[in-house]
Every structure is written in C-alpha cells, then in structure tokens.
Amino acid sequence: MTDRKNALGVLDVLESPYLQVFPIRCIEVRNRNARCGACAAACPTGALAIAEDGMIASDPSLCTGCGACATACPTCALVAQGPDDRELLERCVKAGGVNDDRVVVASTAALDHAFGHYDPAKVTEVATLSRFDESMIVTLAACGAQSLTFVDGRDAVAGEDALIARVVSGACELLEAWGAALEVTIQGHLPEEVVTEEFVDEERPVTRHENASIDLQVDPEAYKPLKLDAQGKLPQQVPNRRGRLLRTLNSLGEPSEQTVNTRLWGHVTLDTSHCQSCRLCTVFCPTGALVKYDEDGGKAIGIIHTPAKCVKCRCCETACPKQAISLSEDIFAPDLVGGYSERYEMPVPEIVVGKPTTVVNKMRKLLVGANQVNFA
C-alpha cells in the first residue's frame, strides 16, 4: 500500500525549472492502493527509483531534467520544461527545414561522440530520446516532416531504450491507421546528411543539468485529503499531451477501420454479473474515462466509458472490490476521434436496513444513545 505523504514528498522535491509537478494527478497520490512506478522505471539516472519496500524513492541530486519520467507518466503528473514540448517541436521543425524536411533528433551522448563532425543546424539535441512522446511524433508528421531519425549514439543495439522504442512503435501504429507518411527510425549513428568532414565548433544548447531539481519546502496543504466533488469523484483531467495528440490525429482526417495497440489507451470491460454497483471506478478515474450516470430518479444507474480519455492507469481495476473490471489494450481507431462512448447498466443495489453491514446499523454503534435514535 502506498504512503500518500511519501508519494507527495517524492514529487515535491523534484519540482524545478526543468520539471513541473502536479501531485494531484499522480496515481499513487490519488489512490493509496494503486501501484504505478512508471516514472521510476523510465528514469535513466536513478533520481527516481523503486525502493526495496516498493515505494518510489527520489534523489534530486541525480536529476538531470531529461524529461523521461514525464513521458512515462500516464497522467502528466510530471511535465518536462526548459524546453517545453512546443519549444522542442519548434527546434525540430526549424532543423528539418534546412534538411529537406528530414528531422534528426540525437541524444547528448550521440553528439558528444560525434562532436565537431556534424551540422548543428540540422540536428535537435535532447538529453535522452525518451524526452519525446507519441504526440510530438504525430505533430511532426502533421507539420510535413518526411522522416524522423532518433540517434541514441550507443554501441548497444539500436532501440535499447525501451521507452522510446515503445513510443516509436505506438506512434507508427497511429500514423499507419491515419494514413500519414512519416518514416520513423532509431539508430546508433548520425545520418549522412548531417555529418560534415570539416570540424565544426559551435555552442550547443544545454540539455542536461547537474542537480537540476530544487529541494522545495513541501506545502502542508498538499497533505490534506483529496475531496470529492458534487458528482462524488476526485478531480479529473485529460493530460495535455493526450489532448494534443487526439486533436492532431483528428486534423489528419479519418482513420482506417482497424484497431491500434499502444501504451496510451485502454478499453474498459465491465462484468456486470460480478459488479456490486459501488462505482468506485468512477471515483478514482483520473481523466473522466469512466463517469457515473443516474436516470429515472435513480431507477437506472451505471457508468459511461469513453476509450479516448483512458490513459491505461488501471486505477479502475485497483479500485474495484469485486475484480469486475478488465482492461483491453486494443482500441478501435475511429473510436479515438469520433467521441465514442459506451454505457454499462448496473443493478440498483437494495438497501436492507436489517443487515449488520448497512450504513445505518454501523452508525448505531458510533452514535451515543443510538438506541434513542429513530432510523426508520
């Protein structure tokens, strides 16, 4: 079980000019029974790591502000800054413009290895390739890029970075479904069109920052319990990157009638035969992919699922006391931009006053002089 205060503290010490933190979006902050750890799994320096007790531990002195954790986080509780996504995309478009719309993105390690023998005007540098997510790749396709080459610069097999490999795979599957022509590759060396024979000495932008994080005082207000709104749910928000990706896909036109399988979306299935109609799944859903409905004066209840809003955090699975919810990773492409949603009707629970577990009977034990209180 996650210690919410520990999770908040881990996030707060990572706040810096290079990484913006929104603790309320964090899965482990929202639900103490949830397990995620995607940020720690993606961190290349150990600034975030999974401790022996299963908790996420942080060491701000190791953070370089590379942004890999922000790409891994399904709810955008971490947002990369300095540069932000827009600034980085502008650099890519500018560099591609002088390279026949061929965009080259290289890690700092790759450019350190090739120092002085490439044209910096044609290359966009990042601390780690995992700074890129699917929304940025699809946006470059929409901007007219003809090719996108990621260069990791290591002697290991190209694509060793598991996160960027999954990002590229998912983006290519989306581009195929939408019929967008963009060749995306990961390789270990710079392409010939950016390599120079003569030595070029030009100042490079700073992409890695020693001790990038600033150890801030934690706001005591952050430790207060999250409150439910009038609809009985925690605050919900579709991540900015996800919204941008959906808008960009929509601008590319109609997708083909096929399913896509990426790290981004999930399709919720509810087994109503096991469901007890508690609808806790809608309480903890961070994006509004699951919302409750009540109709006909409470005689018809259930949930509405919108696949396009799902971020595959599996909070609904964790929250369900009867394991009635399962998540499929195959999503029908047209459902992502067509506003598709589906309804699951649930049985209206009966309130039996005589049961010992009924709320009114539990309250009898808590209230002084309960035998004098009329609960009828």
Residue type, 354: G
Helix ranges, the chain (H): 4-12, 27-30, 38-42, 68-72, 85-97, 108-113, 134-142, 162-177, 240-251, 280-284, 315-319, 333-337, 359-366
Measure the CA–CA gap between 27 and 7, rounded to whole angstroms: 10
Query: Are 223 and 186 in contact, with CB atoms under 8 Å apart?
Result: no
* Tens of each residue's pLDDT in the chain, 376 residues: 444 444 444 445 445 577 888 888 888 888 878 888 899 999 998 888 887 777 778 888 888 889 999 999 999 999 998 899 999 999 999 999 999 999 999 999 999 989 889 999 999 999 999 999 999 999 999 999 999 999 987 643 333 468 999 999 999 999 999 999 899 999 999 999 999 987 776 665 555 544 444 333 334 444 455 666 767 677 788 999 999 999 999 999 999 999 999 999 999 999 989 999 999 999 999 999 999 999 988 889 999 999 999 999 999 999 999 999 999 999 999 999 988 999 999 988 776 556 665 555 555 555 544 444 444 4
147-151 and 183-187 strand pairing: parallel
Q: Judge residue 207's burial from the number of C-beta atoms within 10 Å of its C-beta, 0-12 exposed, 13-18 middle, 19 or more buried.
A: buried
Residue type, 331: I
φ, ψ dihedrals at 195, nearest 5°: -85, 140
- Looking at residue 234, its pLDDT comes to 75
φ, ψ dihedrals at 21, nearest 5°: -120, 135
Torsion of CA 94, 44, 12, 67, to 10 degrees: 10
- Looking at residue 154, its pLDDT comes to 63
Give the helix, strand, coil percentages of the chain, each rounded to 5: 35, 15, 50
> What pTM value is reported for the model?
0.83
Closest of 333, 241, 344 to residue 291, by C-alpha:
344
Per-residue DSSP letter, 342: E
Measure the CA–CA gap between 172 and 154, rounded to whole angstroms: 23
Measure CA 178 to chain center: 22
**Burial 331-343, CB ≥16 within 10 A → b, else e:** bbbebbbeeeeee
Closest of 24, 74, 48 to residue 213, by C-alpha:
48
Residues 6+ apart with CB under 8 A from 261: 173, 329, 330, 331
φ, ψ dihedrals at 137, nearest 5°: -65, -45
